[in-house]
Structure 1
């Protein structure tokens, strides 16, 4: 039986634990639900979702439950869903969205949320990989754009490694094996490999840095940024998915016949 608690929790994580405590779930299902709901917290906070062993041991970001309330909540959740859809298979995505909907419904029953931010939300249709990926001429035009070194590295790594955007944004400097053009083996993480173009630029990007996030923002990290997402040398924070996507779409708008700009996922190599 699900109980009702009139006290509104401030933090998303607290609301999650109250939902899980009230839901009639076995231990195995409760663990799956907790992982799925923690995944949404990373996405809603606009931070890369840890993968493999790193995901199991990572502390989710502190997130106010209020981000899921108010006029901006549906758009925020829609962006989070689009990000997750880019890196999760449809079955996983549908399961995680269903789990979130269950939690949102219960939180509404408690009076903690005024409306359902997931109302009308549907997983985006996955385009055919071959048609979504940029063609050779389009790719050459994109990589010829005059952009900062960070963007040159990001775009080339995405294309040459074939990795998801989240995986590239989550890279740290000490993950790189520059000599062998690959990331160092790590339990639970695939090894990413790249070619000459990235190999030429990466040493320039990491010069003077031995650890910390590979891809950094232009400004210093705000107070409260976790140490894992802050450069110990420059004080800048890890580049977010939202900012990386915005920069790419803006830079490629004039190349796109539709005038919308391309998406980072179109940099993946064609099958």
Structure 2
């Protein structure tokens, strides 16, 4: 823990410290690492290599303190504008950097937020809309497996990213307090998840909270495998597929809805004026 809290000199080392403390799964860490490495080119005021060249290129080695440089907001803004044609990708990369910056500032390693002036890139007009309250009620009333019901209630009630929820372990759950503990400190959920979680955790002593239906493939990291059943951690892709398939009959278009639409509905509920 002392090594984790010691201020790093290099940006890349700070990235690894953040990912180690972020409480996200192996695949999510890989995606975040790629996104955060991409920002190193902007910090060095150099163009990001494209195509196959980007996969082979080593990001520049930089001091973390460069993020407090007065010139950095302009460099990050130019980099973000150049990538905003791919709005969803650019916004994910911005979200990854902001999450890291918030953690670094909480450690006292940085003083400023060089992304403060950046607004998310506009999404295409067909961006998914949040589910309506009636649609949410229909989703949460579905006769779905207990694991899926817990997942959906957490997505709707917690305001946490879906990646963070899928990275939860049994030990991260304080059932009586309706909250996360340890690395999940700060996570809260509502009465729906609070009612279902004790049922899901019966006879569960450890391992991932949300599991696949089958045993994990050989080579799966121990952290992503249930020590009792050998089943693996539920992935984002599989969780999304299950939700879309389950909601196909509810969607007037017949396509099914997305977990992101469910999360947006929860955000809208929390931010709407109270009557």
Q: TM-score range by the shorter chain?
A: 0.5 to 0.7
Aligned twin of 1:174: 171
In structure 2, the residue matched to 1:134 is 131
Query: For residues 24 and 250 of structure 2, what CA distance do their matches in structure 1 show?
Result: 42
Shift of 1:107: 5.6
- 8 Å contact kept, 1:177–1:184: yes
* 1:51-94 deviation per Cα after TM superposition (whole angstroms, max 9, x unaligned): 65435999889x9xxxxxxxxxxxxxxxx7xxx7xxxxxx9798
1:256 Cα deviation from its structure 2 partner = 1.7
1:220 alignment counterpart: 215
Is the aligned partner of 1:28 residue 2:10?
yes
The alignment covers a number of residue pairs equal to 193
Deviations 1:112-131 (A, max 9, x none): xxxxxxxxx82325489xx8
Q: CA 1:122/1:107 → structure 2, altered by over 3 Å: closer, same or farther?
A: closer
Consecutive unaligned residues in structure 2, runs of 5 or more: 1-8, 58-84, 89-121
Contact 1:164 1:265 (8 Å CA) reproduced? no
2-structure distance, mates of 1:155, 1:56: 19
Per the TM alignment, residue 192 of structure 1 is displaced from its structure 2 partner at its CA by 1.2
| Alignment check: 8 A CA contact 1:185 1:191 kept | no
TM value normalised by structure 2 = 0.58
- Alignment match, 1:54: 21
Per-residue CA shift, 1:197-220, capped at 9, x if unaligned? Answer: 111111111111121100000000
String of CA shifts for 1:163-190, please: whole Å, max 9, x gaps.
110011000001000011101143xx55
Select which of 80, 83, 86 maps to 1:122: 86
SS in 2 for 1:102: coil
Conservation of the 8 A alpha-carbon contact between 1:217 and 1:239:
yes
Query: Quick check: 1:183–1:193 contact (8 Å CA) kept in 2?
Result: yes
Q: Determine the C-alpha separation between the residues in 2 that align with 1:94 and 1:202.
A: 38
Any conservation in 2 of the 1:176–1:182 contact (CA below 8 Å)? yes
TM-score scaled by length of structure 1: 0.59
- Structure 1's 227 and 196: CA in aligned 2 closer, same or farther, altered over 3 A? same
Check 1:103–1:226 CA distance in 2 against 1; reply closer, same or farther (3 A cut): farther
Shift of 1:96: 8.1
Residue of structure 1 in register with 2:240 after alignment:
245
Match of 1:162 in 2: 159
Q: Could you list the runs of 5+ residues in structure 1 that have no partner in the other structure?
A: 1-26, 39-49, 64-79, 85-90, 111-120
Flag as ranges the 4+ runs of structure 1 deviating above 6 A.
56-61, 91-94, 96-100
